[in-house]
């Protein structure tokens, strides 16, 4: 069984016990619930939403918050001469 869920403007294919890296989400008690489920695949068949599957939701737990490496950005000007 798996589902396709929209999280922060991106679509993710999720199943039980999956670990995902997503953009920062605000949550209480490290619990999240996503109700924008676009597709659900079960043993009995596939449910496709128009645009979301009614009554379906995915719950998740935040394991850790990580930051990416710092990116150095600078502008270079051409010397005229």
Report the pLDDT value the prediction gives residue 80, as an integer from 0 to 100. Answer: 85
Q: Output the CA torsion sign for 22, 10, 3, 26.
A: positive
List Cβ neighbours of 27 (8 Å cut-off, separation of 6 or more): 62
Mean pLDDT of the chain: 93
Report the pLDDT value the prediction gives residue 26, as an integer from 0 to 100. Answer: 86
At 47, the pLDDT band (50, 70, 90 cuts) reads very high
At 54, the pLDDT band (50, 70, 90 cuts) reads very high
79 three-class SS: coil
């Amino acid at each position: 069984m798996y589902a396709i869920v929209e999280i922060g403007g991106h679509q993710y294919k999720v199943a039980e016990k999956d670990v995902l890296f997503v953009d920062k989400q605000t949550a209480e008690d490290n619990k999240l619930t996503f109700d924008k489920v676009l597709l659900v695949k079960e043993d009995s068949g596939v449910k496709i939403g128009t645009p979301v599957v009614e009554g379906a939701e995915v719950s998740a737990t935040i394991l850790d918050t990580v930051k990416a490496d710092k990116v150095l950005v600078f502008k270079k000007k051409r010397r005229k001469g």
